[in-house]
Every structure is written in C-alpha cells, then in structure tokens.
Amino acid sequence: MLNKDMEKKTKPEKKPKGTLGGARAGAGRPKGTTNRLTAREILETAEGMLGKPFVVSLMEGYIDTINSGDARNRVTYEKIILDKTATTIIEAEITDSKDAIEAKQAAFAEALAKLVGVSPDAK
C-alpha cells in the first residue's frame, strides 16, 4: 500500500426501504365514485343565483366587452363561445354525381372481389 490511509473501502449495506411511498392496498379513489361537483351543478347554481339562464349572462358579458372596447376580454369570450359552438356549426354536405357513385360502387365491388376471391361481375 502506498498510503496507509488508502484502505479498500466497501460500500455500506443498503438498508431495506421503509413503508413510505409506493402502492398500498385500498389507496386511491374508489371505483365507481363520481365527481362531487359537476358542470351541470355549476351551471344550475349560477342560473339560480343570477335568475336567468347562464348563456344569457354569458352573452350579456360578451356584449359589455364589445360596448366598452375591452378587446382582451372580448377575445376570451369569443374563444369560449366558439369552442362550444364550432363543433355543431361545422357541417359538410357531400354530393356526388351519379357517375361518381357508380364508379365508387364498381371500385368497391372490385376490391371486395379481390379479398374474397370472387369475380366482380358475378351476381
């Protein structure tokens, strides 16, 4: 040994972990429990306190922001309104000509025939 102080040091033994942390039987939210406060309850409470439907109060607030020139809050109201209405407003109507429908039917019949191994002309 070069230095008397340099002895081979061994790692101390690991102590077993205690009972802190980790999963425990019966811990957590019980299955089947519901939220204590629902969105419906919030809206019903607001309507009861305001004496009018919540959507009316929401629109009154939006109109107030427009009339007062409060652009920041106006944008907030518009985001709220669009988030709730955009999915019901957006509709797509797809119309195909008779030729397009016949072409799609033929292509479908051909693809199905390849999968099943039947002639597309067989009926």
Give the residue carrying structure tokens 């999963």.
23
What does the buried/exposed string (b/e) look like for 97-106 if buried means 16 or more CB atoms within 10 Å of the residue's CB?
eeeeeeeeee
Mean pLDDT of 3-24: 67
What is the tally of helices (H) and strands (E) in the chain? Answer: 4, 0
Q: What is the pLDDT of residues 43-58, one digit of tens each?
A: 999 999 999 999 899 9
- Kindly list the domain boundaries of the chain, sorted by start residue: 35-92
Q: How confident is the model at residue 113, as a pLDDT?
A: 83
Whether the full predicted model's pTM is greater than 0.75, yes or no, is no
